Amino acid sequence: MLKAVLFDLDGTLCDTLPLCIEAFRQSIAPLAGRPISDAEIVATFGPSEEGTIRALIPEHYDRGVRDYLACYEALHARYPAPFDGIRPLLADLKRRGLLLALVTGKGRQSCRISLRRLGLENVFDMVETGSPTGVRKTEGMLAVLARFALRPDEAVYVGDTAHDVLSARRAGIPALSALWSSLLQEADVLAAKPDRAFYSVAALRAYLLSAPASAAAGRSV
């Protein structure tokens, strides 16, 4: 039976991907001395924000990290709340006695900013953040399983990208895709064949509160 729900952050709990891109643009372009396109920024995603800065302006790494975090926090006021229904969902899961974990590619400092700004800083039983050297979501999921002595089939991972599906699969955890962010790449996510895909938080909530983690694959609207 389901014992733990692991969540991605950007694009899953809150529509913060546009925030990340804008903060990168404002902080990196002045140091690079040229405009930085959204495509250039997104192409570096996978490692944490520090990895993006190392890829785009390695000669200004320390200043870039500092400026990015300042921009990120200042711009977060535009994104003050999680997606509608996320707070009640998390509260319902905790009332059911489920463990909640966050496994995100964000760096530790930006993750801390977002959890505080979103009022979610005391919600998760464990938080695993990203690395500037590469993608580590699978490692983060496995760390959660190890800490709480869980089998992979006793947990699910909720994320919004094809990479989230593949990372969960490598960890042996059922992948539930959240298809509601503004920058969603739906075709790519569905091509990765998640165990289930949800087009609303309400549908995800209904599933998590009623279905075992090993339920048959499918799509919910």
Q: Which residues are catalytic?
A: 8, 10
The amino acid present at 138, given as its one-letter code, is T
Q: 126 - beta bridge partners?
A: 101
Structure tokens at 147: 């800490």
76: three-class secondary structure by DSSP? helix
Structure tokens at 177: 């895709």
Whole-number Å distance between alpha carbons of 58 and 183: 27
